[in-house]
Amino acid sequence: MIWIKPLLYENLRIAFQSIRGNLVRSVLTILIIAVGISALVGILTAIDSIKSSITSEFTRLGANTFSIQSRSMNVQIGNKRYRSKNYSYISYSQAREFRERYTFPSTASISVSATQIATVKYESKKSNPNVAVRGIDENFLQTAGYELESGRGLTFRESFEGDNVALLGAALVKKLFAGDIDPLGKMIAVGSGKYQVVGVLKDKGSGFGDTGDQVVLVPFTNVRQYFSRPQMNFRISVMPKSPQLLDAALGEAEAVFRNIRGLSTQDESDFILEKSDNLVNILLDNIKYVTLAATIIGFITLLGAAIGLMNILLVTVAERTREIGIHKAMGANSHSIRQQFMIESIVIGQLGGLFGIILGILAGNGVSLLIGSSFIIPWQWMLTGVALCLLVSLGSGVLPAIKASKLDPIEALRYE
């Protein structure tokens, strides 16, 4: 056992000498392997960043909530279409009765859309006619994931008595109140109505059909008065006290609302309970195809690197035939010759893997930086990259190592 370590050290020394002696070819092979690993690690790290960002954003926007509504959400991603059936509207009396009768430990809110094309004015300034006006109660900000930048939310009395007060989205504040003007307490015009600004919402962003920061929130009873129309369709949102209670809260809510709608045990529910994380799950489910494509691209690049590495080692065997003959003449056996070329292959592969992992982490976290996600160290993909490089090295080095070990020492010494 004592001779193994010196022999291993000597083979490592010879491997690095060979790499330095064929620097251009070795560097090109290392770069090919690095590109393959960086493509694999980089893309998969970026995908993990995107997944983390999507999950955290939807959690911030109220991913632990569910809603009771009559209109479905139609989403098509790729060739899959996700659609819920449309049913009759939810009336104000039904929404209010649900809020009063639902005793599960949770926060329930009711809201209604007034319009999506309102124009908001403050003195001589006005917005584009693309502002969403929504009627809300005092619990809506919590269940919808809104936060206050300044001011306050609605009170219970304002919600149910329909006072002319409003909360403004961040984009509207920038549009209407330039400079250092404080919007709190100012009077704005929404359509023909006048409202006092009592709160400003934090920047939320927009996406997936959400109007985001182009929004005015007013008491829902005020919407019933000034934006009245037949069959106003209310939406009920529920946030359980704990995410673990979500399924239990769903079952209780369905039972209570079925009773409010007067349905018998044989009747199908004529409303929809929509979890707010459904869209997250749809998106994450479809990202797996991107992951698969990235993995295939990485493997194809690594296959090219393996072929290049094998070619370099075969050329090295031919160039070092005389050297191999000298080693065999001095007593080196076929096993040690095979080990020497295998170690050289592994060293080149692991150097390429090291550079590839570093480049991949930097590239993947570059995407994290762009989307505002946290820095990710992809331990799983790093270990996968090391393992793949080892497999590529072993696969590429087997044939040249066997060829070198089978050389006849006399013929090798007579070479050239």
Residue 340: closest CA among 388, 402, 411: 402
pLDDT in tens, 362-377: 888 887 777 767 777 7
Identify the pLDDT of residue 112. 92
DSSP conformation letters of 337-390: HHHHHHHHHHHHHHHHHHHHHHHHHHHHHHHHHHHTPPP---HHHHHHHHHHHH
Residue 401: closest CA among 309, 329, 326, 331: 309
CB 412 within 8 A of CB 328: yes
The one-digit pLDDT tens for each residue of the chain (416 residues) are 444 456 666 667 777 777 777 777 778 778 878 887 887 788 778 877 777 776 666 655 555 788 888 754 454 545 555 444 555 788 889 999 999 999 999 989 999 999 888 889 988 888 888 889 999 999 998 888 788 889 999 999 999 888 899 999 888 888 888 777 888 999 999 877 899 999 999 887 544 444 567 899 999 999 988 888 888 889 999 988 887 888 898 899 999 999 998 888 888 888 888 776 655 666 666 677 777 777 787 777 777 777 777 777 777 777 667 777 776 777 667 777 777 778 877 888 888 888 888 888 888 888 777 776 777 777 877 887 788 778 877 777 777 777 777 766 666 565 55
Residue 295: closest CA among 303, 306, 283, 284: 303
Domain ranges within the chain, ordered by starting residue: 4-57+282-413, 66-275
CB 298 within 8 A of CB 110: no
Identify the pLDDT of residue 412. 55
Identify the pLDDT of residue 184. 92
pLDDT in tens, 110-122: 999 998 888 899 8
Dihedral sign from CA coordinates of 347, 352, 358, 360: negative
User: Which residues, other chains included, contact 279 with Cβ-Cβ below 8 Å and sequence gap of 6+?
Assistant: 58, 73, 75, 208
Identify the pLDDT of residue 154. 92
Residue 375 CB neighbours (<10 A): 10
Tokens representing residue 291 in the block: 């992951």
Cα separation, 135 vs 215, whole angstroms: 11
